[in-house]
Structure 1
Amino acid sequence: MTTFVDRVELHVAAGSGGHGCASVHREKFKPLGGPDGGNGGRGGDVILVVDQSVTTLLDYHHSPHRKATSGRPGEGGNRSGKDGQDLVLPVPDGTVVLDKAGNVLADLVGQGTTYVAAEGGRGGLGNAALASARRKAPGFALLGVPGGAQDIVLELKTVADVALVGYPSAGKSSLISVLSAAKPKIADYPFTTLVPNLGVVTAGSTVYTIADVPGLIPGASQGKGLGLEFLRHVERCEVLVHVLDTATLESDRDPVSDLDVIEEELRSYGGGLDRRPRLVVLNKTDVPDGKDLAEMVRPDLEARGYQVFAISAVAHIGLKELSFALADLVAKARAAKPKEEATRIVIRPKAVDDAGFTVEREEDGLYRVRGEKPERWVRQTDFSNDEAVGYLADRLARLGVEDSLMKAGARSGDGVAIGPEENAVVFDWEPTVMAGAEMLGRRGEDHRFEAPRPAAQRRRDRQAERDEADQEFDDFNPF
Structure 2
Amino acid sequence: MPSFVDRVVLHLAAGNGGHGCASVHREKFKPLGGPDGGNGGRGGDIVLVVDANTTTLLDYHRSPHRRAGNGSAGEGGHRSGADGDDVVLMVPDGTTVSTPGGEVIADLVGIDTTLVVARGGRGGLGNAALASTKRKAPGFALLGEPGETLDVVLELKSVADIGLVGFPSAGKSSLIAAISAARPKIADYPFTTLVPNLGVVEAGDVRFTVADVPGLIEGASEGRGLGHTFLRHVERCAALAHIVDCATLEPGRDPLSDVDVIEAELEKYGGLAERPRLVVLNKVDIPEGRELAEFVRAEVVARGWPVFMVSAVSREGLRELAFEMARIVSAARSAAPPPEPTRMVLRPTAVDDEGFTVTKERTHEGERYRIRGVKPERWVRQTDFTNDEAVGYLADRLARLGVEDELVKAGAHGGDEVVIGGEDAVVFDWEPTISSGAERLGPRGTDSRLEN
In which range does the TM-score fall when normalised by the shorter chain?
A: over 0.9
Residue pair 2:240, 2:276 contacting (<8 A) in 1 also: yes
Partner of 1:402: 404
Q: How much is the aligned-residue C-alpha RMSD, in angstroms?
A: 2.2
Partner of 2:391: 389
Residues 10-409 of structure 1: pairs in structure 2 closer than 5 A = 10-271=10-271, 273-340=272-339, 355-364=354-363, 365-409=367-411
Deviation at 1:267, TM superposition (A): 1.2
Residue pair 1:390, 1:435 contacting (<8 A) in 2 also: no
Q: Secondary structure at the match of 2:243?
A: strand
Q: Secondary structure at the match of 1:359?
A: strand
Distance in 2 of aligned mates of 1:44 and 1:341: 28
Distance in 2 of aligned mates of 1:350 and 1:276: 39
Q: Secondary structure at the match of 2:396?
A: helix
For 1:186, the aligned partner's letter is I
Q: Secondary structure at the match of 1:391?
A: helix
Q: Percent identity?
A: 69
Deviation at 1:159, TM superposition (A): 1.0
Query: Alignment length, in residue pairs?
Result: 441
Q: Could you give the per-residue CA deviations for residues 250-291 of structure 1, whole angstroms, max 9, x where no partner exists?
A: 1210111101111111111111x1220111111100001001
Deviation at 1:324, TM superposition (A): 0.8
Partner of 2:427: 426
Distance in 2 of aligned mates of 1:396 and 1:136: 20
Distance in 2 of aligned mates of 1:396 and 1:223: 56
Distance in 1 of aligned mates of 2:382 and 2:181: 58
CA separation of 1:82/1:376 partners in 2, compared to 1, >3 Å: closer, same or farther?
same
Q: Secondary structure at the match of 1:280?
A: strand
Distance in 2 of aligned mates of 1:370 and 1:27: 45
Deviation at 1:96, TM superposition (A): 1.1
Residue pair 2:39, 2:125 contacting (<8 A) in 1 also: yes
Computing the radius of gyration from Cα coordinates, the structure with the larger value is 1
Distance in 1 of aligned mates of 2:351 and 2:209: 45
Q: Secondary structure at the match of 2:370?
A: strand
Distance in 1 of aligned mates of 2:169 and 2:199: 19
Deviation at 1:221, TM superposition (A): 2.7
Q: Secondary structure at the match of 1:229?
A: coil
Q: Could you give the per-residue CA deviations for residues 395-443 of structure 1, whole angstroms, max 9, x where no partner exists?
A: 00000011010110000100001111x2111000001112545653598
Residue pair 1:134, 1:444 contacting (<8 A) in 2 also: no
Residue pair 1:160, 1:198 contacting (<8 A) in 2 also: yes
Residue pair 2:166, 2:243 contacting (<8 A) in 1 also: yes
Residue pair 1:135, 1:444 contacting (<8 A) in 2 also: no
Q: Secondary structure at the match of 2:229?
A: helix
Residue pair 1:214, 1:227 contacting (<8 A) in 2 also: no
For 1:303, the aligned partner's letter is A
Residue pair 2:45, 2:118 contacting (<8 A) in 1 also: yes
Task: Name structure 1 gaps, 5 residues minimum.
Answer: 446-479
Distance in 2 of aligned mates of 1:98 and 1:349: 19
CA separation of 1:348/1:53 partners in 2, compared to 1, >3 Å: closer, same or farther?
closer
For 2:297, the aligned partner's letter is R
For 1:12, the aligned partner's letter is L
Deviation at 1:339, TM superposition (A): 3.0
For 1:426, the aligned partner's letter is V
CA separation of 1:349/1:415 partners in 2, compared to 1, >3 Å: closer, same or farther?
closer
For 2:53, the aligned partner's letter is S
Deviation at 1:393, TM superposition (A): 0.6
Q: Could you give the per-residue CA deviations for residues 359-388 of structure 1, whole angstroms, max 9, x where no partner exists?
A: 111112111111111111011111111111
Residue pair 2:21, 2:37 contacting (<8 A) in 1 also: yes
Deviation at 1:133, TM superposition (A): 2.3
Distance in 1 of aligned mates of 2:116 and 2:361: 34
For 1:363, the aligned partner's letter is R
Residue pair 2:21, 2:74 contacting (<8 A) in 1 also: yes
Distance in 1 of aligned mates of 2:277 and 2:335: 15
Task: Name structure 2 gaps, 5 residues minimum.
Answer: 447-452
CA separation of 1:20/1:344 partners in 2, compared to 1, >3 Å: closer, same or farther?
closer
Q: Secondary structure at the match of 1:241?
A: strand
Distance in 1 of aligned mates of 2:439 and 2:136: 18
Distance in 1 of aligned mates of 2:270 and 2:197: 23
Q: Could you give the per-residue CA deviations for residues 98-154 of structure 1, whole angstroms, max 9, x where no partner exists?
A: 112111111111111121221100000001111122222111100000000001111
Q: Secondary structure at the match of 1:142?
A: coil
Q: Secondary structure at the match of 1:368?
A: strand
Deviation at 1:222, TM superposition (A): 3.4
Residue pair 1:214, 1:230 contacting (<8 A) in 2 also: yes
